[in-house]
Amino acid sequence: MTPFNVFVDVINLDDASVKNTLSSISSMYHSFTSKHQRKISFIYDIQSERVKMLNDTAKNLEIDHAVSVSNFDAMYAQGKSISIFVDFGDTVATTKIISMLEIGVPFLGQSNSERKEILDNTCSILANTKSNFDLFPSIISFMRMLYYDPEVRKILKRGALIKSKNIKILAK
CATH 3.60.15.10 fits 4-171, yes or no: no
Please report how many Cα atoms fall inside a 13 Å half-sphere around the Cα of residue 22, on the Cβ side. Answer: 30
Instruction: Give the pTM.
Output: 0.89
To the nearest 10 degrees (0 to 180), the angle between helices 15-30 and 132-148 is 40
Q: Alpha-carbon distance 45 to 23, whole Å?
A: 17
Complete DSSP assignment for 10-24: -TTS-HHHHHHHHHH
Please report how many Cα atoms fall inside a 13 Å half-sphere around the Cα of residue 101, on the Cβ side. Answer: 27
Nearest to 86 by CA among 22, 37, 150: 22
pLDDT per residue as tens, the chain (172 positions): 689 999 998 888 889 889 989 999 999 999 999 999 999 999 998 888 999 999 999 999 999 999 999 888 887 787 668 999 998 877 788 888 999 999 999 999 988 878 888 899 999 999 888 776 788 899 999 999 999 999 999 999 999 999 999 988 776 6
Instruction: Please state the domain extents for the chain.
Output: 4-171
Beta bridge partners of 4: 40
